Homo-oligomer: A and B are copies of this chain.
């Protein structure tokens, strides 16, 4: 399950990608329709995840770090929610052993969930912010949701 935090993060990044310029968090919150104070915390996490840069003070704001086609959904989702895999033993970035399984190599549950995690990764690590923008049929009006 994608958390609201992660969904808001994606929306914030799409707004930044669409505008292509520095925006204060209040403007992002308004355009993305996200609770303003919650968004502040999210933007901090996105900065730590290297997805954007922030400038403080008057006329400060947040700018996308790098081109929209370089920022992948998988990276954002991992930074917000952790692993893509349905189960820790099937995760590559957040691997953790299963206490209730004795032999990981033969575990049929793990094998099945590895297939799932690979499919999820194929989609999310293959989609960039630019791809998201191009999904919108109403690009000009900036109505993305």
Chain A positions within 8 Å of B, measured between CB atoms, are 1-2, 7, 10-11, 14, 33-34, 73, 86-87, 98, 100-103, 106-113, 115-116, 119-120, 122-124, 127, 132-133, 135-138, 143-145
Interface centre among A7, A103, A116 (most CB of B within 10 A): A116
CA–CA, A120 to B112, complex, Å? 11
Taking a contact as CB atoms under 8 Å apart, the answer to whether A1 and B101 are in contact is no
CA–CA, A27 to B7, complex, Å? 43
CA–CA, A109 to B76, complex, Å? 13
A-B pairs, 7 with minimum CB distance: A119-B119, A101-B145, A107-B145, A2-B86, A108-B135, A108-B132, A111-B135
**Nearest CB in chain B to that of A132: its residue:** B108
Report B-chain residues with C-beta under 8 Å of the C-beta of A101. 33, 145
Taking a contact as CB atoms under 8 Å apart, the answer to whether A112 and B127 are in contact is yes
24 contacts between A and B (CB under 8 A): A1-B1, A7-B87, A7-B100, A11-B109, A33-B100, A33-B102, A34-B100, A98-B145, A101-B145, A106-B136, A107-B145, A108-B132, A108-B133, A108-B136, A108-B144, A108-B145, A112-B123, A112-B124, A112-B135, A115-B123, A116-B123, A119-B119, A119-B122, A119-B123
Taking a contact as CB atoms under 8 Å apart, the answer to whether B1 and A109 are in contact is no
Within the complex, the shortest CB–CB distance from A9 to chain B, in Å, comes to 10
Q: How many copies does the complex hold?
A: 2
Report B-chain residues with C-beta under 8 Å of the C-beta of A124. 112, 116
